[in-house]
Amino acid sequence: MKRPLVYLAVFYCLGIVSAEFLRLDFRLFFWAAVMVFIAAALLIRESKVFFFLLLALSLSSGYLNLINSHIIPGCHILNLLEPLSSPGCLLEGFVSSPPEEMGGRGWFVFRLRRVRAENMGYNCCGDILVRMNFVPEARYGENLFLAGNPRRLFNFNRHAGGYLDYLARQDIYLALQVKERGQVVRRGGFSGSKIIRGCLNLRSYLERRIELYLPGLPAVILKAMVLGQRRNIPLRIKDIMVKTGTVHILVVSGFNVGIMVFIFNLLFKLARVPRRTRMFLISFCLIVYCMVTGSSDPVIRATVMGLVFLAAYFFEREPDIYNSLALAAFFILGVNPRQLFDAGFQLSFASVFSIVFLYPRLNAFICPDGRRVNKFLRYLIEGCLVSFSAWAGTLAIILMNFRILSLVTVLANILVVPLAALITVSGFIFLLVSLVFPAAGHVFSLAPALLVNIFLNINAYLAKLPFASFSI
């Protein structure tokens, strides 16, 4: 059967959706899955029956994986809510996410190891969201003591919506408000991954290089597009890009990862690195870039997709885009099946799928083979069709999640996406040059600064057009 992974991925997703809305007995479903697995093993030579059983097994796996993801271990912090409500509670653990700050306040995710309350010590696990009324001075991996009483963010068994749903998908159900610096005590030393800590230190260094050579707003935009740091982007800029449907450009995702892969592939080709070695080195750079940008969900999704495609080239096989998308979905949902209900996950796969599926058909209809078209006009038409395909494929998801209809999205993406590509490429080149030849940094910073200003002006003009966007 052609593209079997697509069918398996669809049934796996159906299993996840079924588990979200149905509440069947876990043990019954588990033993049914075991019986299906045994039947599939016995009937492996009966191709049609075997594949039908594989579909049933994939559906069962999706169902069981989502149910299992909701199971809280016995040592989880949620099981210690009563001691946590007592005065003098002290939390011991380490910073498990890069601290963020905005408007003089900060936050990070804190991974617990032990809790001291009521003159008792409890070993525990789980993450909590720490909100601070001041800019955090902590770093990723730093061991801390936090004084205070964590509070439940929402009812665990109910949908909270928006940002709270996002936190639930990360298994974060509690938050701690830190009002005074005295509530934070450094234990000394670091935990977590040394590799991630090194990558985050590299990101901080690159941020300082950008701030050194570029003026205020261009520096903020370039840090968002190249390093995934969006914390200081003015709200008015975000509003403008939401209205024009180009806010996705400010998120490090498949677009940026694709450009990064292109740059390193070109560099390794010029250095005459063999094909397989080149694919391995690009994969390594891709993983490092994912960690440098903070390993956010969009970057992880794009990295997984990129690694799947690179694996196909590594084994010298022509990649099938549909099977590759299905395999990437399996990897992501296998680790965290709740990602299926994330709008970012849906937009990532819907946009790629709609471009792959709609664009060739629209292009064949509008510009059939044999018709002579001016090269510039053909590029313009193809750009319009790609942008329209992505817009059409993601329209329903955007309307359901964001309640915004942008009528200038297709035009905006035709103008802005090539410009964003130039900004990203020039930004990468500027960072590489400034690292090797610091004296040349000022010269190479001129191009991204100029392009960012043009980028912002185009978005501002499009947002002011009549009927540019509607709130639904």
Residue pLDDT, tens place only, 139-189: 888 999 998 888 887 654 444 456 777 787 788 888 999 988 888 888 888
Average pLDDT, the chain: 82
Mean per-residue pLDDT, 280-288:
88
Q: What pLDDT, on the 0 to 100 scale, is given for residue 158? A: 44
In sequence order, what DSSP letters do the residues of 384-435 get, joined into one string?
HHHHHHHHHHHHHHHHHHH-EEESSHHHHHHHHHHHHHHHHHHHHHHHHHHH
Q: What pLDDT, on the 0 to 100 scale, is given for residue 143? A: 92
* 451 touches 416 (CB < 8 A): no
* 90 touches 114 (CB < 8 A): no
* 469 touches 402 (CB < 8 A): no
Q: What pLDDT, on the 0 to 100 scale, is given for residue 454? A: 92
Residue pLDDT, tens place only, 22-60: 877 777 777 777 887 787 777 777 777 778 888 888 888
- 460 CB contacts (<8 Å, ≥6 apart)? 240
Cα gap 111→75, rounded to integer Å: 13
CA distances from residue 413 to 150, 233, 417 in whole angstroms, order as listed = 44, 20, 5
Q: Higher-confidence residue: 1 or 61?
A: 61
Q: Higher-confidence residue: 107 or 469?
A: 107
Q: Model-level pTM?
A: 0.80
Cα gap 176→131, rounded to integer Å: 6
14, burial (CB in 10 Å: exposed 0-12, middle 13-18, buried 19+): middle
Three-state secondary-structure class, residue 94: strand
Residue matched to tokens 């001075």:
137
Q: What pLDDT, on the 0 to 100 scale, is given for residue 231? A: 72
- Name the packing angle between helices 441-463 and 194-213 (round to 10°): 80
Give Dmax (Cα) for the chain.
Answer: 83
Q: Which helix (H) or strand (E) holds 101?
A: strand 100-102
Residue-range domains of the chain with CATH: 4-69 (no CATH), 77-191 (2.40.50.140), 198-341+406-467 (no CATH)
- Cα 258 to its chain centre, rounded Å, is 14
- 457 CB contacts (<8 Å, ≥6 apart)? none
Three-state secondary-structure class, residue 151: strand
* 401 touches 345 (CB < 8 A): no
Cα gap 201→208, rounded to integer Å: 11
Cα gap 96→193, rounded to integer Å: 9
- Structure tokens that stand for 104 in this block: 């003089």
How much of the chain is helix, strand and coil, in % rounded to 5?
A: 65, 15, 25
Q: What pLDDT, on the 0 to 100 scale, is given for residue 377? A: 73
Cα gap 292→200, rounded to integer Å: 5
- 23 CB contacts (<8 Å, ≥6 apart)? none
Three-state secondary-structure class, residue 253: coil
Considering the chain, what percentage of its residues have pLDDT values greater than 90? 8
- Name the packing angle between helices 343-366 and 375-402 (round to 10°): 150
Most confident of 75-79, 111-115, 199-203: 111-115
Residue pLDDT, tens place only, 92-147: 999 988 888 877 888 899 999 999 887 788 888 889 999 998 888 888 889 999 98
Q: What pLDDT, on the 0 to 100 scale, is given for residue 109? A: 92
* 112 touches 93 (CB < 8 A): yes
* CA triple 9-11-17, angle to 5 deg: 105
Q: What pLDDT, on the 0 to 100 scale, is given for residue 110? A: 93
Mean per-residue pLDDT, 242-246:
81
Residue pLDDT, tens place only, 377-402: 777 777 778 878 888 888 888 888 77
Residue pLDDT, tens place only, 453-467: 999 999 888 888 887
Number of helices (H), then strands (E), belonging to the chain: the values are 16, 11
